[in-house]
Amino acid sequence: MHLRTLLSSVLLLGCLCAYSPEQELKQLNQTGWLLEITYLKNAPPAYHNVFLPGSLVSGGWFARFGHIPGWELPAGAAPIRAVRISNRLRNDRVRVTVSVLRGKRIMDTEETVVTFELLENQKMVVTELEKFGVEPFEIRAFKTDPLPGSQPDISNEIKSIEVIGIEAVASDLPRNKLTLRNLSNKSIEALRIDIFQGDRLRITAQRQGLEGRLLVLAGDTVQVNVSMAVEAAGSAGAYAPALSAQQKYVIRSVIFSDGTAEGAIEDPYSPAAFQIVSAGRRIELQKTLPLFTAALDSPDDSLTQGVKKLRSQLKKITVPIADAEIANLQQRFPSHDAEFLRDGVGVGISLMREEMLNQLRHFENNPNGKDFRSWLIDNTARYSQWLERLEPAAPPQP
């Protein structure tokens, strides 16, 4: 599989994001606001949640966008792969940050385009994107009542999983909570669920345990929150979010802790892709944890100074992927070539770094009375434990 296929599948669909139902609900922080984002001319808009300042969600992004005719990428510049829209609700204003994600092989660089605030029903045309060769997005903020959900049909293709129940979750955009039981004698690391509208695949979600943990132990149960597909109803200038009809959840695959799997396991949902990306997370942690230790040895740094210094170090540090690491992965996964392995590891590195920067931003905006040193102690321990859980697993038995 080529990098673009791997990257768009892994990141756009969120299929390798760490997950726990409690964490997801806490991060959602329902506000009663939505963003309406028009990202292509003559196409219906998309709808995104608006988040409170305490949320750890970094924002949604768009790999599809219009290109300015005749615009050429400057010499030496990395191509733009996506546009990210981040937001936070502050005192009845939605603060929106638009950035571009770029990279020659993976999206390893984020560049802020513009930040602005929207009042209720105010719209902004982001003309600043034009200097990046991207046709302007239109973004509107508005208040909303929770969109009524419905109970979709469920198709379970996995013998190792039993569906115990489903219930609606109160949310600005509709979702459901699935309760599932692991019927196998092996723990599960990841679970894939596809959301269809009729025969059309709308959303794919793959959940994995939080911070390298298992998602569900053998014989145990787990609750997962799954979105429903929403579309823009109406016509230009008068769109509103509406629940898509004829939706169905399809439980497609699971990855077990011994490296085996059941169900549809094509890349990037295979055990190999899962472990390759995890290897990238491990490499990033090994490289960046010394920065946390070094920061602890600088006790005179204030919160502002310490956060600024650590953020700068995290953004600047390079994490080379050693040939020996790729050779080891090739022994474990001989059906994948070196390019696929290197790209997958790079995705894991980028995901891990983004997680660290999000945590740092969250602390900076919401210290909750904690000083920088206390935060460093807590997160040094947390990332150290995470690293221990990411030690390479033995290859699955034939």
| 14 in any annotated domain | no
| 9 in any annotated domain | no
| 396 in any annotated domain | no
| E-strand stretches of the chain | 17-18, 33-38, 46-49, 60-62, 80-90, 93-102, 109-118, 123-126, 137-143, 153-156, 161-169, 175-182, 188-197, 200-208, 221-227, 230-233, 240-243, 247-256, 261-263
| 15 in any annotated domain | no
The predicted model gives 178-203 an average pLDDT of 95
| 194 in any annotated domain | yes
The number of beta carbons lying within 10 Å of the beta carbon of residue 242 is: 14
From 205, 234, 263, the end of a domain falls on: 263
Q: Bigger pLDDT: 24 or 387?
A: 387
Q: What is the pLDDT of residues 340-351, one digit of tens each?
A: 899 899 889 989
The predicted model gives 10-27 an average pLDDT of 43
The predicted model gives 210-238 an average pLDDT of 92
The reply to whether 256 and 276 lie within a common domain is no
The predicted model gives 237-246 an average pLDDT of 89
Q: Report the alpha-carbon distance of residue 326 to residue 345 in Å, rounded.
A: 9
Q: Quick one: pLDDT at residue 7?
A: 43
Q: What is the pLDDT of residues 113-170, one digit of tens each?
A: 999 999 999 999 999 999 999 999 999 999 998 888 788 999 999 999 999 999 988 7
The reply to whether 137 and 191 lie within a common domain is no
Q: Say if residue 261's pLDDT is above 80.
A: yes
Q: Say if residue 27's pLDDT is above 70.
A: no
Q: Quick one: pLDDT at residue 14?
A: 38
| 169 in any annotated domain | yes
Overall domain count for the chain: 3
Q: Quick one: pLDDT at residue 17?
A: 44
Q: What value does the CA radius of gyration of the chain take, rounded to a whole number of Å?
A: 21
- Residue 295's nearest CA partner among 213, 387, 363 is 363
Q: Report the alpha-carbon distance of residue 238 to residue 225 in Å, rounded.
A: 30
Residue 54 is part of which domain span?
Answer: 31-143
Q: Quick one: pLDDT at residue 28?
A: 53
The backbone torsions φ and ψ at residue 202, rounded to the nearest 5 degrees and listed phi first, read -105, -40
Q: Quick one: pLDDT at residue 297?
A: 86
pTM of the model: 0.84
| DSSP designation for 283 | H
Counting residues of the chain whose pLDDT is more than 70, the rounded percentage is 90
From 263, 285, 303, the end of a domain falls on: 263
Q: Report the alpha-carbon distance of residue 388 to residue 385 in Å, rounded.
A: 5
**What CATH number does the domain containing 190 carry?**
2.60.40
